[in-house]
Amino acid sequence: MTETELKLQVPATARSALIRAMRRAVVERTRLRAVYVDTADRRLAGAGIALRMRQEGRRWVQTVKAQGDALLERLEHEVVVSAPAPGGIAPALRGAALAPAIDPQRHAGTPVGLRLAAALAVPPGEPAPELVAIYRTDVVRLHRRLRDAAGTVELALDIGCLEAGGQREPLCELEIELLRGRPWALTAVAARWAARHGLWLDARSKAERGERLARGWPALPPARAAAVPAFAPVADASSALRRLVAVCLVPVLGNAGEITGGRGTPEHLHQLRVGLRRLRALLRLYRGWVADIDPGWEPALAEVFRALGARRDRDALALVLLPARQAAGAPLIAWPEGDAPDADEGSPATVLRGPSVTRLMLSLLGFSLGAPGTPAPAPASGIRPAAPTAPTAAPAPEPARRSDRELPERIRRRLARWHRQAMRDARRFEALDEPARHRLRKRIKRLRYAAELSAPWLPRKPLARYLAALAPAQSALGELTDLLAARDAFRRAGSDEPGAWFALGWLSARAEEQARRCAAPLRAMRRQPPPW
């Protein structure tokens, strides 16, 4: 069995209005108290599996979940446990009735049960690993059904807390689960409720947050680029693009959850921006091949990228440039105050919680689930919105003049053109001015990410060698860009402080040195033949 759902975070200011909105139809109220178990060495968490026993009102339900094949899909199997058994896990559920013992064999023979058995497997003769309580949840759920043009969903508002290791963390989230119909019914409903109540998308599960709380981590590890799936030799551009959009959204949504939750680090922000870059490269690669691409997505993604860029520049100064200055014996400096973004309005968390970003992410997510793209409405202010819709018809096919068999060749032709542009600029790098050098860096990034996302249609080993040649050139140019961004920030500040003038001179000298260091990786990149 699988479940398909998404989750929206609910700010405290929206809770009362959201409860009233839930109660405008027939709504059920259920107390849910659950304990999640694992082995002492966290075998289940390492395999991406969550195993729990939950008291749902008066009944007990044992459930195991694991990631499914699609972005919002989870493998799930649940068993109603009729009666408690001695030796259960009662201490883990304070205030609850005696809990039944968890038995992994209850899921035997199911797809997710096979994963569970593999994670718990031990060599012959060794005892089965003991399952211990790791964290628990205690929530009150208000849930109701809602019909949409594309299907029927369940809205579930969970208010309560996570508990682990003597620590508690509040929970207030709206889960939307597909009961029947088209999967993009989820994003259509989510878009309306998010816009009405100021909610934002969050890809983190309760299990992920509970594991982080139990381990005492300040944040979940940053999400990185997901593997590109295999495709049939003949794949239509629309289907390929939808699957690849889902791949690109994994690090974007995963890192956005930690940032909007107030736990993001510079690496979360960096990986999120890499995900946005990959999305932009992908949409440029498929431009003109898929009728359902919303032309508003690319500029909207670019605007989000720029909005997060000021903080990324500050992070680069703090994490890379300042330690280098200190190692060289130079005095410490701080980012010029006159050039700093507002601590609240310009923060990554504020940007990512914004309604425009939420609409954009839901629109792309809906597209990955099969919904046709639709023209975005004109922007009122800020980032251009791109709102999803909920059509009942199947997505429109590509134009008939485009043969599915042409996709690999079209990809190779477009990559070849981008390759020629990048190599032409790389050959004359020393003669390029700063804007042209920055353009070269962007071209190399676009080429690298587009080639990575085209892996199913390119020879594996030549592609690996090609990407290995692009990466150092991109990295060297990235260091140059960071130095120039810091230099320009000090120039704009116009400070008369001696330390600021010293920093400006040091950054300018380092930028010139780094520009010379770019020559070697650019030459190596030019010597590497492309894999097409």
**Tokens at residue 310, please?**
């000021």
pLDDT band at 359 (very low <50, low <70, confident <90, very high): very high
Report the candidate in 416, 414, 447, 373 with the shortest Cα–Cα distance to residue 286: 414
Q: Is the pLDDT of residue 502 over 70?
A: yes
Residue 5 pairs in a beta bridge with 177
Q: Is the pLDDT of residue 133 over 60?
A: yes
pLDDT band at 190 (very low <50, low <70, confident <90, very high): very high
**Tokens at residue 266, please?**
């510079």
Q: What is the mean pLDDT of the chain?
A: 87
Q: What is the mean pLDDT of residues 242-257?
A: 96
DSSP letter (8 states) at residue 233: S
**Contact (CB, 8 A) for 27 and 143:** yes
Q: Is the pLDDT of residue 397 over 80?
A: no
pLDDT for position 6: 97
pLDDT for position 402: 47
Report the candidate in 107, 134, 118 with the shortest Cα–Cα distance to residue 35: 134
Q: Is the pLDDT of residue 335 over 90?
A: no
Specify the 3-state DSSP secondary structure of 254. Answer: helix
Q: Is the pLDDT of residue 391 over 50?
A: no
State CA 293 to chain mean position distance. Answer: 20
**Contact (CB, 8 A) for 200 and 14:** no
**Contact (CB, 8 A) for 5 and 186:** yes
**Contact (CB, 8 A) for 74 and 114:** no
Contacts of 238 (CB under 8 A, 6+ apart): 290, 291, 292, 395, 397, 398
Distance CA 200, CA 190 (A): 9
Contacts of 346 (CB under 8 A, 6+ apart): 307, 310, 311
Q: Is the pLDDT of residue 329 over 90?
A: no
Distance CA 75, CA 90 (A): 27
How many residues appear in the chain? 532
Q: What is the mean pLDDT of residues 307-319?
A: 73
What does pTM read for this prediction? 0.87
Residue with token string 């009233």: 20
Q: Is the pLDDT of residue 46 over 50?
A: yes
Q: What is the mean pLDDT of residues 320-342?
A: 57
Q: What is the mean pLDDT of residues 278-302?
A: 95
pLDDT for position 321: 58
Check residues 495 and 398 and name the one with the higher pLDDT: 495
DSSP letter (8 states) at residue 227: P
Distance CA 249, CA 244 (A): 9
pLDDT for position 128: 85
Q: How far is CA 348 from CA 25, 91, 168, 220, 305, in A?
A: 36, 40, 25, 17, 10
**Contact (CB, 8 A) for 145 and 154:** yes
**Contact (CB, 8 A) for 507 and 490:** yes
pLDDT for position 184: 95
**Tokens at residue 9, please?**
């975070």
C-alpha atoms less than 13 angstroms from C-alpha of 495 in its C-beta half-sphere: 20
Distance CA 247, CA 452 (A): 12
pLDDT band at 127 (very low <50, low <70, confident <90, very high): confident
Kindly tell me the sign of the dihedral angle through the C-alpha atoms of 502, 503, 504, 505. Answer: positive
Q: Is the pLDDT of residue 372 over 70?
A: yes
**Tokens at residue 451, please?**
């080639």
> Rounded to a whole number, what is the largest CA-CA distance in the chain?
79
Rounding to the nearest 10 degrees, give the CA dihedral for residues 368, 370, 372, 378: -40
pLDDT for position 233: 63
Distance CA 139, CA 55 (A): 11
Strand locations in 111-182 (E): 132-148, 151-164, 167-181
Q: What is the DSSP string of 74-85?
A: EEEEEEEE-S--
pLDDT band at 92 (very low <50, low <70, confident <90, very high): very low
- How do the residues of the chain divide into helix, strand and coil, expressed in percent and rounded to 5? 50, 15, 35
pLDDT band at 487 (very low <50, low <70, confident <90, very high): confident
Report the candidate in 78, 349, 318, 302 with the shortest Cα–Cα distance to residue 200: 349
Task: Please name the helix (run of DSSP H) or strand (run of DSSP E) that holds residue 189, with its range, or none.
Answer: helix 185-197
CATH topology (fold) of 2-215 = Hypothetical Protein Pfu-838710-001 (2.40.320)
pLDDT band at 496 (very low <50, low <70, confident <90, very high): low
DSSP letter (8 states) at residue 258: H
Would you call 221 exposed, middle or buried from its count of C-beta atoms within 10 A (0-12, 13-18, 19+)?
Answer: middle
Residue 8 pairs in a beta bridge with 174, 201
pLDDT for position 262: 95
